């Protein structure tokens, strides 16, 4: 059995952290919120309503990839990974990583962000997140997608159910 290294990805407010914690608990794995690996300068930019640039993201994505690669027991990480090049950067550091893409419509995510408190990411940056988002295509065989139109517990159940067949497909 290979060590599970899983990135729960999507735009801000899609449920990455909640689903990530749920998956980690069910799988008996540690979980890291990628937000905690941002540099203070990046957090300050986002808090001020300024979207990050790739130069801000590359070192952050490398830190995430290295954390995944260094995990001997497996790891779940919540990380936006919005572009394929960002996912590729993580893959460069963490061979065998898998991605769970939490996808949903702008209006639903915007409503969730409006209700969220205590997070540095302002709802005003959601437009830039959706503009940046490159939805995974069929060539990215290490990504599976779940629509976020159901409760977190159901998303966790669906992800747990999908993991065995997803892992099998990867090893064919």
Asked if 89 contacts 68 with a C-beta cutoff of 8 angstroms, the reply is: no
Which pair of structure tokens corresponds to residue 32? 């890291």
Report CA-CA distances (Å) from 112 to 90, 96, 148.
Answer: 27, 32, 11
Contacts of 171 (CB under 8 A, 6+ apart): none
Nearest to 122 by CA among 52, 60, 54, 48: 48
The pLDDT assigned to 172 comes to 36
Strands (E), 15-122: 31-33, 75-78, 98-103
Domain boundaries, given as residue ranges, for the chain: 5-170
CATH superfamily assigned to domain 5-170: P-loop containing nucleotide triphosphate hydrolases (3.40.50.300)
Asked if 115 contacts 143 with a C-beta cutoff of 8 angstroms, the reply is: no
The pLDDT assigned to 137 comes to 93
The pLDDT assigned to 2 comes to 67
pTM of the model: 0.89
C-alpha–C-alpha distance, residues 21 and 36, integer Å: 14
Q: What is the pLDDT along the chain (172 residues), one digit of tens a residue?
A: 468 999 999 998 899 999 999 999 999 999 999 988 988 888 888 778 787 788 888 999 999 999 999 999 999 999 999 999 999 999 999 989 999 999 999 999 988 877 766 655 555 678 888 999 999 999 999 999 999 999 999 999 999 998 876 554 443 3
The pLDDT assigned to 42 comes to 85
Q: Which residue has the tokens 């629509």?
A: 147
């Amino acid at each position: 059995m290979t060590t599970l290294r899983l990135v729960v990805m999507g735009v801000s407010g899609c449920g990455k952290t909640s689903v990530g914690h749920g998956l980690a608990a069910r799988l008996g794995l540690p979980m890291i919120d990628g937000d905690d690996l941002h540099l203070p300068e990046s957090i300050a930019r986002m808090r001020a309503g300024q979207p990050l640039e790739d130069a801000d993201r590359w070192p952050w994505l490398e830190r995430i990839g290295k954390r995944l690669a260094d995990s001997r027991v497996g790891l779940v990480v919540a990380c936006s990974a919005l572009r394929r090049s960002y996912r590729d950067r993580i893959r460069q550091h963490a061979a065998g990583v898998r991605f769970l893409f939490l996808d949903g419509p702008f209006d639903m995510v915007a409503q969730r962000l409006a209700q969220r408190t205590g997070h540095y990411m302002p709802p005003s940056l959601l437009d830039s997140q959706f503009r940046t988002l490159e939805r995974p295509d069929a060539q990215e065989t290490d990504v599976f997608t779940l629509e976020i139109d159901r409760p977190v517990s159901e998303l966790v159940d669906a992800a747990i159910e999908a993991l065995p067949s997803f892992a099998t497909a990867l090893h064919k």
